[in-house]
Amino acid sequence: DHSPAVTLTSGSGIAGYGVYSEFGWFISASLPLDLRPTINTAELFAALQALSAITATTVAICTDSSYISGGATGLARRWKARGWRNSAGTVVPKITLWEGLILELDKQGRVF
Protein backbone atom coordinates (compact mmCIF):
# COMPACT_ATOMS: atom_id res chain seq x y z
CA ASP A 1 0.00 0.00 0.00
CA HIS A 2 1.43 3.37 -1.04
CA SER A 3 -1.12 5.47 0.84
CA PRO A 4 0.50 8.20 2.94
CA ALA A 5 0.62 7.97 6.71
CA VAL A 6 -1.75 10.82 7.62
CA THR A 7 -0.75 12.89 10.63
CA LEU A 8 -2.26 16.09 12.00
CA THR A 9 -0.08 18.63 13.80
CA SER A 10 -0.77 21.81 15.70
CA GLY A 11 1.05 24.28 17.90
CA SER A 12 -0.02 26.93 20.35
CA GLY A 13 1.52 30.17 21.50
CA ILE A 14 1.55 28.97 25.09
CA ALA A 15 4.33 26.49 24.35
CA GLY A 16 2.21 23.44 23.61
CA TYR A 17 2.00 21.23 20.57
CA GLY A 18 0.02 18.24 19.43
CA VAL A 19 0.40 15.41 16.95
CA TYR A 20 -2.32 12.92 16.05
CA SER A 21 -1.68 9.94 13.82
CA GLU A 22 -4.15 7.79 11.94
CA PHE A 23 -2.39 4.85 13.61
CA GLY A 24 -4.11 5.78 16.87
CA TRP A 25 -1.25 7.41 18.74
CA PHE A 26 -0.97 11.02 19.71
CA ILE A 27 1.37 13.44 21.43
CA SER A 28 0.19 16.38 23.48
CA ALA A 29 3.05 18.08 25.25
CA SER A 30 4.95 21.25 26.05
CA LEU A 31 7.93 22.54 24.14
CA PRO A 32 11.37 21.90 25.61
CA LEU A 33 12.38 24.73 27.94
CA ASP A 34 15.25 25.85 25.69
CA LEU A 35 12.86 26.78 22.86
CA ARG A 36 11.18 30.18 22.80
CA PRO A 37 7.42 29.53 23.08
CA THR A 38 5.91 30.94 19.90
CA ILE A 39 3.18 29.52 17.68
CA ASN A 40 5.66 29.03 14.81
CA THR A 41 8.12 27.21 17.08
CA ALA A 42 5.36 24.94 18.39
CA GLU A 43 4.09 24.24 14.86
CA LEU A 44 7.60 23.44 13.60
CA PHE A 45 8.38 21.26 16.61
CA ALA A 46 5.11 19.33 16.13
CA ALA A 47 5.91 18.63 12.46
CA LEU A 48 9.42 17.50 13.37
CA GLN A 49 8.12 15.21 16.14
CA ALA A 50 5.57 13.69 13.75
CA LEU A 51 8.17 12.97 11.07
CA SER A 52 10.58 11.56 13.65
CA ALA A 53 7.95 9.16 14.99
CA ILE A 54 6.63 7.81 11.69
CA THR A 55 8.56 5.16 9.81
CA ALA A 56 6.44 5.19 6.63
CA THR A 57 8.10 6.50 3.48
CA THR A 58 5.04 8.46 2.38
CA VAL A 59 3.75 10.82 5.04
CA ALA A 60 0.97 13.41 4.80
CA ILE A 61 1.39 16.05 7.48
CA CYS A 62 -1.74 18.17 7.81
CA THR A 63 -1.04 21.61 9.24
CA ASP A 64 -2.81 24.95 9.22
CA SER A 65 0.54 26.76 9.29
CA SER A 66 1.66 28.32 6.01
CA TYR A 67 5.05 28.94 7.70
CA ILE A 68 5.54 25.19 8.17
CA SER A 69 4.08 24.04 4.86
CA GLY A 70 6.06 26.69 2.96
CA GLY A 71 9.27 25.86 4.78
CA ALA A 72 8.84 22.12 4.35
CA THR A 73 7.99 22.30 0.67
CA GLY A 74 10.95 24.36 -0.44
CA LEU A 75 11.58 27.56 1.49
CA ALA A 76 13.77 25.90 4.14
CA ARG A 77 16.09 24.52 1.46
CA ARG A 78 16.35 27.99 -0.11
CA TRP A 79 17.03 29.54 3.31
CA LYS A 80 19.77 26.96 3.89
CA ALA A 81 21.34 27.74 0.48
CA ARG A 82 21.38 31.44 1.46
CA GLY A 83 23.13 30.74 4.76
CA TRP A 84 19.84 30.50 6.66
CA ARG A 85 18.63 33.91 5.56
CA ASN A 86 15.24 34.64 4.06
CA SER A 87 14.68 36.68 0.88
CA ALA A 88 14.86 39.91 2.92
CA GLY A 89 18.30 38.91 4.24
CA THR A 90 17.06 38.31 7.79
CA VAL A 91 18.35 35.28 9.70
CA VAL A 92 15.69 32.56 9.85
CA PRO A 93 14.76 31.61 13.43
CA LYS A 94 14.99 28.03 14.73
CA ILE A 95 17.66 26.88 12.27
CA THR A 96 18.31 23.69 14.25
CA LEU A 97 14.64 22.69 13.98
CA TRP A 98 14.56 23.44 10.25
CA GLU A 99 17.74 21.37 9.76
CA GLY A 100 16.05 18.52 11.61
CA LEU A 101 12.95 18.80 9.46
CA ILE A 102 15.01 18.72 6.25
CA LEU A 103 16.91 15.68 7.55
CA GLU A 104 13.64 13.86 8.29
CA LEU A 105 12.23 14.77 4.88
CA ASP A 106 15.38 13.51 3.18
CA LYS A 107 15.01 10.08 4.79
CA GLN A 108 13.90 7.70 2.06
CA GLY A 109 12.87 10.59 -0.19
CA ARG A 110 9.93 11.72 1.92
CA VAL A 111 7.70 14.50 0.68
CA PHE A 112 5.82 16.88 2.95
Report the Cα–Cα distance between both ends of the chain, in Å, rounded. 18
pLDDT in tens, 77-101: 999 999 999 999 999 999 999 999 9
Spacing of C-alpha 44 from chain mean position: 4
Burial (Cβ within 10 Å: 0-12, 13-18, ≥19) of residue 87: exposed
Q: Tens digit of pLDDT for each residue in 47-84?
A: 888 888 777 777 777 788 898 889 988 999 999 999 99
Three-state DSSP at 107 gives helix
